[in-house]
C-alpha cells in the first residue's frame, strides 16, 4: 500500500527529528556512513508509517492492536515522513525536501532557547513554499523541569505568532521514549489532510534521491540499472511506461556528456522496498531504469523532473525571478546586485548562479548548470553573508531562456 501524503520533519540540528521519525515509523533514517559517524542527518531520510485509531479508547497509534487497551484498531491511512537535515550547511537539502511535502512537523527542543537559527530558517522555508499545514513538536521535555517546559512553551508561542505556524497545535514529547506519540498522530490526522490528486494528468515526479543499488563485485550479468527516487505530484506511472528525465546529465565530466533529457522505460517500481506494478501521487517511489548505474549513483540525478515524454518544461541555463527579500532580525541583508553569486533552490534542484541583471523586483540569474522548472515555480534564494550561505529571499520563476 502506497502512502497518501508526504510530511516533512524540520527544525534545528539535534532537536530530535530523526528520533521522532523512529518513534513514528520504527526506522532510523540516518543510514549513511558519514551520518552515523557524525551523528547528524546529511541526506533526506524517509520512512513510512500506518496510522490506526482504537474504536474503544479513541487513541491513535501505529499498531493493528491498540497498545493502550489491546482492542483491534481501525486503519486510517499510510503516511510518508521526510527527515530533513537541520545543520546550517545542509539547508539546500532541507529546501529540496520541503518542495515535495504537503505538511510539516516543526521540531523544537524544550532544553534550548527558541528560536534557534535553523528553527527560524526552516519555518521561513515552509512559509515560502506555501506549506500551511503544520504541527509543532516541543521535544525533549524529559530533559527539563515542568517550570522550564512551560517557559519553553511560551517562547514557542511567541516565536510562532504572525507566522504560518501561529495556530498550529503544539505537542509536548520525549521522542526517545515515545511519549505522546498518540497525541501527535491525532494532531497530524486533524491538521494535515490528504490532498486531492490529479491522477489523470500526465505523470510528473521530482527526483529527491538517485542510486546505484549494485553491491561491489556484482557479476555483470546480474547488474541492475540505475534507480531514481522521488515523489509523484500528479498522474501515475506503470512498469513498462516510457518516461523522460530532464535536464538529464547536466554536469559534464570526462565520462558524461551533457544532455537536455533522457528517455527510458520503467523496469521496476518500488514503494517502501516492495515491488509494485503502478505508482500514484503520495509517498516516495523508486524507479529502476535501464540507465548505467554510474549515471545515477551518489544522488547525481537529484534535481531532475521525471514525466511523460514531451510534457516537461524546457531546460534553461538562465532564469528570471520575481524576487522578494526576507526580513531577518539576525542578519543585515543588502539588496541583490550584479554580478553577485547566489544559490537558487527550485523543486529538488539546487544550483549555483550569478545575477546578471536586476530591474525592479526582477533579477536574472545565469546558472552554472541548466535546470528544468515550471513557470511560476517557487524559488528559495541563498546569498553569501560573511563567509556563509544564508537564506535571504524567495521568488517566483517568471521566465527562462532555453539552453
Instruction: Give the pLDDT confidence score for residue 272 in this predicted structure.
Output: 79
Instruction: Give the pLDDT confidence score for residue 263 in this predicted structure.
Output: 95
Strands, sheet with 45-53, edge to edge from the N-terminal-most edge strand: 60-61, 45-53, 74-83, 5-11, 103-109, 134-139, 170-172
Cross-strand pairs, 380: 345, 394
Instruction: Give the pLDDT confidence score for residue 38 in this predicted structure.
Output: 31
Cell for 350?
539546487
CA nearest 349: which of 324, 378, 311, 321? 378
Other Cβ atoms within 10 Å of 25 Cβ, number: 20
Instruction: Give the pLDDT confidence score for residue 128 in this predicted structure.
Output: 75
DSSP β-ladder status, 134-139 and 237-238: unpaired
Determine contact, residues 345/380, Cβ cutoff 8 Å.
Answer: yes
DSSP, collapsed to helix, strand or coil, labels residue 189 as: helix
Instruction: Give the pLDDT confidence score for residue 50 in this predicted structure.
Output: 94
Cross-strand pairs, 120: none
Q: What string of pLDDT tens digits covers the 403 residues of the chain?
A: 788 888 888 888 888 888 898 899 887 654 433 322 333 333 566 788 999 999 999 999 999 999 999 999 999 999 988 876 544 444 455 555 556 788 999 999 999 999 888 788 788 878 877 788 999 999 999 999 999 999 999 999 999 998 889 999 999 999 999 899 999 999 999 999 998 888 889 999 999 889 899 999 899 889 999 999 988 988 999 999 999 999 987 555 555 555 678 999 999 999 877 899 999 988 889 999 999 999 999 889 998 999 999 999 989 899 999 998 887 777 788 889 999 999 998 888 889 999 999 999 999 999 998 999 888 788 888 888 888 888 888 888 887 654 4
Cross-strand pairs, 201: none
Query: How far is 284 from 280, CA to CA, in rounded Å?
Result: 10
Distance of CA 147 to CAs 107, 110, 150, 278, Å?
A: 20, 11, 5, 52
E-strand ranges in 117-185 read 134-139, 170-172
Instruction: Give the pLDDT confidence score for residue 284 in this predicted structure.
Output: 84
Instruction: Give the pLDDT confidence score for residue 45 in this predicted structure.
Output: 67
pTM greater than 0.75: yes
Query: How far is 12 from 34, CA to CA, in rounded Å?
Result: 19
Domains and CATH numbers, the chain: 5-191 (3.40.50.300), 204-307 (2.40.30.10), 315-402 (2.40.30.10)
Q: What is the largest CA-CA distance in the chain?
A: 65
E-strand ranges in 254-328 read 262-265, 268-271, 274-276, 278-279, 285-288, 305-307, 315-325
Other Cβ atoms within 10 Å of 88 Cβ, number: 16
Query: How far is 167 from 183, CA to CA, in rounded Å?
Result: 17
Query: How far is 378 from 374, CA to CA, in rounded Å?
Result: 9
Distance of CA 50 to CAs 3, 76, 185, Å?
A: 8, 7, 10
DSSP, collapsed to helix, strand or coil, labels residue 154 as: helix
Query: How far is 244 from 309, CA to CA, in rounded Å?
Result: 5
Cross-strand pairs, 82: 8, 46
DSSP, collapsed to helix, strand or coil, labels residue 395 as: strand
Query: How far is 354 from 363, CA to CA, in rounded Å?
Result: 10
Instruction: Give the pLDDT confidence score for residue 196 in this predicted structure.
Output: 85
Query: How far is 260 from 124, CA to CA, in rounded Å?
Result: 33
Amino acid at each position: 500500500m502506497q502512502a497518501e501524503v508526504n510530511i516533512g520533519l524540520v527544525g534545528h540540528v539535534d532537536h530530535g527529528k530523526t528520533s521522532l521519525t523512529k518513534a513514528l515509523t520504527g526506522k532510523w533514517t540516518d543510514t549513511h556512513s558519514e551520518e552515523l559517524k557524525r551523528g547528524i542527518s546529511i541526506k533526506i531520510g524517509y520512512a513510512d508509517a500506518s496510522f490506526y485509531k482504537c474504536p474503544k479508547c479513541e487513541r491513535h497509534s501505529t499498531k493493528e492492536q491498540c497498545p493502550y487497551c489491546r482492542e483491534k484498531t481501525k486503519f486510517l491511512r499510510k503516511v510518508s515522513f521526510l527527515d530533513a537535515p537541520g545543520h546550517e550547511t545542509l539547508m539546500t537539502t532541507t529546501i529540496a525536501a520541503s518542495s515535495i511535502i504537503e505538511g510539516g512537523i516543526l521540531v523544537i527542543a524544550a532544553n534550548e532557547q527558541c528560536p534557534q537559527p535553523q528553527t527560524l530558517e526552516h519555518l521561513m522555508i515552509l512559509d515560502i513554499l506555501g506549506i500551511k499545514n503544520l504541527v509543532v513538536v516541543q521535544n525533549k521535555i524529559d530533559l527539563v523541569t515542568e517550570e522550564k517546559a512551560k517557559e519553553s512553551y511560551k517562547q514557542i508561542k511567541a516565536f510562532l505568532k504572525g507566522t504560518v505556524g501561529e495556530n498550529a497545535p503544539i505537542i509536548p514529547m520525549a521522542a526517545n521514549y515515545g511519549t505522546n506519540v498518540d497525541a501527535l498522530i491525532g494532531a497530524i490526522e486533524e491538521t494535515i489532510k490528504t490532498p486531492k490528486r490529479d491522477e489523470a494528468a500526465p505523470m510528473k515526479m521530482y527526483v529527491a534521491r538517485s542510486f546505484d543499488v549494485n553491491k561491489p563485485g556484482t557479476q555483470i550479468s546480474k547488474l541492475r540499472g540505475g534507480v531514481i527516487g522521488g515523489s509523484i505530484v500528479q498522474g501515475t506511472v506503470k512498469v513498462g511506461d516510457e518516461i523522460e528525465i530532464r535536464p538529464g546529465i547536466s554536469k559534464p565530466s570526462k565520462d558524461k556528456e551533457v544532455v537536455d533529457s533522457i528517455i527510458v522505460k520503467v523496469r521496476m517500481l518500488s514503494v517502501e522496498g516492495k515491488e509494485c506494478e503502478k505508482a500514484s501521487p503520495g509517498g516516495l517511489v523508486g524507479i529502476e531504469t535501464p540507465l548505467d548505474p554510474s549515471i545515477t549513483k551518489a544522488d547525481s540525478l537529484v534535481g531532475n523532473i521525471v514525466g511523460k515524454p514531451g510534457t516537461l518544461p524546457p531546460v534553461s541555463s538562465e532564469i528570471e525571478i520575481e524576487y522578494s527579500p526576507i526580513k531577518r532580525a539576525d542578519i543585515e541583508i543588502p539588496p541583490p546586485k550584479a554580478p553577485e553569486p547566489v544559490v537558487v533552490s527550485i523543486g529538488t534542484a539546487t544550483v549555483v548562479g550569478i545575477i546578471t541583471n536586476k530591474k525592479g523586483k526582477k533579477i536574472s540569474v545565469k546558472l552554472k548548470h541548466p535546470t528544468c522548472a515550471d513557470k511560476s515555480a517557487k524559488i528559495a534564494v541563498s546569498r553569501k553573508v560573511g563567509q556563509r550561505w544564508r537564506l535571504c529571499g524567495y521568488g517566483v520563476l517568471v521566465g527562462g531562456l532555453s539552453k
